[in-house]
Chains A and B, each alone.
Chain A
């Protein structure tokens, strides 16, 4: 079953086609990687899928429903969550509050319940805190719950972003370079975490430059270059695809590989 589908998705900036008629199909329950050289249009794809940019043309559907015109907040309400390539945590809030904010789409006590402190409000808050703590636990930040988010180290901030994104049990999780700046031990722990997230029922679409990471983790890989989809398939096939090798590693490396 396909959870996320883009059809001829196109994003044109002034004088530049960042995403050029890209078809992408992400199977429910899979870990799907979107790779490509710098500037290939991966983050732009994420911005289109999560609703931060309106596409120039093309369509996006989630679970069969057309969501192309839905604003970002409504896509979150339909079970989409994401992290950002350049970390965007709420720096002055605590770690726990960051994750609670990630639960916004699933908390809707209503103004009356809030002002009157109705039982519904208390129940939802208690429930939200326990879900947020569970998410922090999963990423290994449980002991930092009360700290200001700005006080976390870079790698922990990345983990916090993931906790914030998964707290509401999204159907689709978009991770933009989650392993950036991590050492091998950290990135292998991250790979385990992503597998666990998938096993808990969340479909994962991720952008990553670390090829080893992608090849070990992904069920399927889509390759972009200059905004175009140049390949799509199982990791083993992608690794051998000459167009990918040429685009991704550069023509020089491809020649060297051929010579070897």
Chain B
């Protein structure tokens, strides 16, 4: 690694890592929104990934190469349990079913001593880094780009516009919705595991409603025209508070204002351009 990059990383490491992790979280929101559903459980899925991976590392001393993929299991199971009954119904049900998930899990974390109770888990070794974070982000972007420019991408956009018409075209709407939710749980779980393994400490209060709204605001600001849009949205919302350090207390207000402005004035986000989908 060149010296300047090393210096740069040393100074801005936290921000650089946060950009990558939040990019993954933005994509976990994107995939659900892109099939016309709304989930408010992204932070909860992230917390499940963070807690399960931290436990595997701290208690079982498993290598990170096993911990990272294993961190997707708990979010997957929760997504399956929530998605199966709700995704056959219309869009609002998933939002309602996920809205309380983060708060319920928070209460659980606090009350289970094995997972550290109110103190959370500390002493997590720093195992994640540039390669794992940005490698996964790039893989996820590439995957969404390739899927977006295919019959599946067309079906997803069609469902988002009119799920009834899409179904009469042969689109198995419930299956796509579940697939999107599971993908989103995997990405959020990975983001949680990565963030747990860069910060050495995780606590029960980090994955409640507030971060869920922040993750939603990434995608609302960036838009969902292409997978790059929500990532750019996440980067803006990650960098702005860094530059406006003095206003840290106003962070939630700031996110709230962005959501309101984005919904009112930028219904397609700041990057509204859709992917061009032309056959080879």
Known: A114-B146, A115-B146, A125-B280. A73 touches B161 (CB 8 A): no
Q: How far is the CA of A114 from the CA of B149 in the complex (A)?
A: 9
Kindly report which residue of chain B lies nearest to residue A114, judged by CB atoms.
B150
For B169, give its contact among A51, A126, A164 (CB under 8 Å). A164
Contact A109 B151 (CB under 8 A): yes
Contact A50 B168 (CB under 8 A): yes
For B150, give its contact among A92, A121, A129 (CB under 8 Å). A121
Contact B155 A84 (CB under 8 A): no
Q: In the assembled complex, which residues on chain A have CB atoms less than 8 Å from the CB atom of B151?
A: 100, 103-104, 107-109, 114, 124-125, 128
Kindly report which residue of chain A lies nearest to residue B161, judged by CB atoms.
A90
Q: In the assembled complex, which residues on chain B have CB atoms less than 8 Å from the CB atom of A106?
A: 170
Mask: chain B, 90-105; 1 = CB below 8 Å from A; 0 = not: 0000000000000000
Mask: chain A, 93-131; 1 = CB below 8 Å from B; 0 = not: 100010011111111110100110100011011101100
Q: In the assembled complex, which residues on chain B have CB atoms less than 8 Å from the CB atom of A92?
A: 157, 161, 274
A32 within 8 A of B: no
B147 within 8 A of A: yes
Known: A109-B151, A128-B151. A72 touches B280 (CB 8 A): no
Q: In the assembled complex, which residues on chain B have CB atoms less than 8 Å from the CB atom of A129?
A: 279
Which of A1-9, A59-67, A75-83, A206-214 is found at the contact surface with chain B? A75-83
Chain A CB count within 10 A is highest, among B151, B157, B162, for B151
Q: How far is the CA of A93 from the CA of B280 in the complex (A)?
A: 18
| Min CB gap B66→A, angstroms | 24
A88 within 8 A of B: yes
| Min CB gap A231→B, angstroms | 28
Q: In the assembled complex, which residues on chain A have CB atoms less than 8 Å from the CB atom of B280?
A: 122, 125-126
A69 within 8 A of B: no
Contact A90 B170 (CB under 8 A): no
Q: How far is the CA of A167 from the CA of B162 in the complex (A)?
A: 19
Q: How far is the CA of A106 from the CA of B169 in the complex (A)?
A: 10
Q: In the assembled complex, which residues on chain B have CB atoms less than 8 Å from the CB atom of A81?
A: 168-169
Q: In the assembled complex, which residues on chain B have CB atoms less than 8 Å from the CB atom of A164?
A: 169
How many residue pairs between the two chains, A and B, have CB atoms under 8 Å in the bound complex? Answer: 101
For B171, give its contact among A73, A89, A111 (CB under 8 Å). A73
A250 within 8 A of B: no
Q: In the assembled complex, which residues on chain B have CB atoms less than 8 Å from the CB atom of A91?
A: 161
Contact A101 B279 (CB under 8 A): no
Mask: chain B, 146-167; 1 = CB below 8 Å from A; 0 = not: 1100111011011001101111
For A114, give its contact among B152, B157, B166, B173 (CB under 8 Å). B152
A71 within 8 A of B: yes
Q: In the assembled complex, which residues on chain A have CB atoms less than 8 Å from the CB atom of B158?
A: 90, 93, 101, 104
Q: How far is the CA of A109 from the CA of B146 in the complex (A)?
A: 13
Kindly report which residue of chain B lies nearest to residue A161, judged by CB atoms.
B165
Known: A90-B158, A90-B161, A91-B161. A111 touches B167 (CB 8 A): no
Q: In the assembled complex, which residues on chain B have CB atoms less than 8 Å from the CB atom of A71?
A: 167, 172
A249 within 8 A of B: no
Q: In the assembled complex, which residues on chain A have CB atoms less than 8 Å from the CB atom of B166?
A: 90, 101, 104
For B277, give its contact among A82, A97, A117 (CB under 8 Å). A97
Contact A114 B171 (CB under 8 A): no
Contact B147 A101 (CB under 8 A): no
A52 within 8 A of B: yes
Q: How far is the CA of A107 from the CA of B151 in the complex (A)?
A: 7
| Min CB gap A157→B, angstroms | 12
Kindly report which residue of chain A lies nearest to residue B280, judged by CB atoms.
A122
| Min CB gap A124→B, angstroms | 8
Contact A101 B146 (CB under 8 A): no
For B167, give its contact among A72, A109, A114, A126 (CB under 8 Å). A72
Q: How far is the CA of A51 from the CA of B164 in the complex (A)?
A: 10
Mask: chain A, 150-180; 1 = CB below 8 Å from B; 0 = not: 0000000000000010001000000000000
Kindly report which residue of chain B lies nearest to residue A50, judged by CB atoms.
B168
Q: In the assembled complex, which residues on chain A have CB atoms less than 8 Å from the CB atom of B162?
A: 88, 90
Q: How far is the CA of A108 from the CA of B168 in the complex (A)?
A: 16
B69 within 8 A of A: no
Q: How far is the CA of A108 from the CA of B166 in the complex (A)?
A: 15
Q: How far is the CA of A164 from the CA of B168 in the complex (A)?
A: 11
Contact B165 A90 (CB under 8 A): yes
Q: In the assembled complex, which residues on chain B have CB atoms less than 8 Å from the CB atom of A74?
A: 172
Contact A73 B164 (CB under 8 A): no
For A76, give its contact among B150, B157, B169, B274 (CB under 8 Å). B169
| Interface contacts beyond A81-B168, A104-B169, A125-B150: sample of 10 additional A-B pairs, CB < 8 Å, sorted by A | A51-B168, A72-B164, A75-B168, A91-B161, A92-B161, A97-B154, A100-B151, A101-B171, A103-B151, A114-B150
Interchain residue pairs A-B with the least CB separation, the first 10: A105-B170, A76-B170, A125-B279, A88-B165, A72-B167, A129-B279, A107-B151, A114-B150, A90-B161, A104-B170
**A–B pairs, 13, beta carbons within 8 Å:** A52-B164, A73-B172, A76-B170, A77-B170, A84-B165, A88-B164, A92-B157, A93-B161, A101-B155, A104-B171, A122-B279, A124-B151, A125-B150
